Amino acid sequence: MKLDDYDLGAIIIGGAIHDHEHPGFNNIYMVETSDEIAVRYNDVSVLENHHVASAFKLMKNYELNIFQLMERDDEKSIRKKMIGLVLATDMSKHFSEMGKYKSRVQAPDFDPSSGSDKESTMLLIFHMSDISNSAKPFHVVRTWVDLLFVEFFH
């Protein structure tokens, strides 16, 4: 897969913001308790929408606006990629997106270096990075599992 500077920028910045202002609860909890974030995002990918929207709101401040010297079209392109990447971390879509990707990979015209195949490959890699803690050393895994228990069973 060939990534351009905008792809790399979106991945790096998207990774930095993908859990911005995370309240420590999961989407299901937020929806079931009618949290204002769930209400704001109509119960759809509520945390992921909040992470990216609140980060972009913060970047509206002049001193934090990393896009201020960019052309508007370039800014829009990176913003679109970042939104897609952060939304791809929603675990409720994990199995359906994995199924779609597995099917697409088997197609004879699959080309992860361009177009929608490149985009879906980037999203999948970003999502897998988000859930990769189980591949780390056990002491790190244990810390993350403890935090996940708090998030999912609070």
Give the rounded distance of the alpha carbon of 28 from its chain centre.
Answer: 17
| Domain chopping of the chain, boundaries | 5-153
Q: Please state the rounded mean pLDDT for residues 13-42.
A: 95
| Helices and strands in the chain: count of H runs, count of E runs | 8, 0
**DSSP one-letter code for 135:** G
> 5-153 sits in which CATH class?
mainly alpha
Q: What is the pTM of this model?
A: 0.87
Contact 46, 89 (CB under 8 A): no
| Interatomic CA distance for residues 91 and 95, integer angstroms | 8
What does the radius of gyration of the chain's CA atoms come to, in whole angstroms?
17
**What does the pLDDT look like over 118-139, one tens digit per residue?**
999 999 999 999 888 788 888 8
